Amino acid sequence: MATTVTPATLTTTITETITLNGVVYDKTTTKATTSVATYQCRVYQLKASTSHSLINFVSDPTSGRFDTDDFKYMRITNLDDTNAVNISLTDASDAGLGIELKAGDSFVLGSLNIDANTSGDVLTALAHTVETAHIRTGAAETDVEIVIATA
């Protein structure tokens, strides 16, 4: 069966607005991501003090997993008004990076290529591909929203 979905363009906009000492510093950045055929948006209610593996990327996708070759965009938003969560992006060998996402904040990813080091040097190449996104909650139940767009 052939698909009847016509790929579209996902437009994302980040707007920053602040006035300091009467000077307005308003900035808007817009990006168009083309050829999006799948868009998934879901809110997860996560149990307190627990690690959750919510997103899996693989080269041969099955139910509930996303194709690494088709990845276009991901956003994780902490919907809690008080508590932070920790995001860990890991590759197949469990190497990865961690990010604290404070209450109300969002993390946007436009590529699955990641790396980290302990030397403090600038990375000139990214040798790892995100396979799993884990979220660790704190002492309270927390809601997060995850948006994923693929080709």
What are the 10-residue block averages of pLDDT along the chain, 151 residues in total? 87 97 97 97 96 92 87 98 96 88 97 87 89 95 97 94
Is 5 contained in some domain?
Answer: no
Burial of residue 95 (CB within 10 Å: 0-12, 13-18, 19+) is middle
Q: How many CB atoms lie within 10 A of CB 2?
A: 4
> Does residue 14 lie in a domain region?
no
| pLDDT of amino acid 1 | 60
Tell me how far apart the terminal alpha carbons of the chain are, to the nearest angstrom. 18
Sign of CA pseudo-dihedral 108, 49, 61, 64? negative
The pLDDT of residue 120 is 85
CATH classification at residue 127? 2.60.120.770
- In a domain, residue 10? The reply is no
Question: How many separate domains does the chain show?
Answer: 1
Q: Which residues pair with 86 in a beta bridge?
A: 100, 136
**Does some domain include residue 134?**
yes
pLDDT for the residue numbered 93: 87
What's the domain range around 100? 36-150
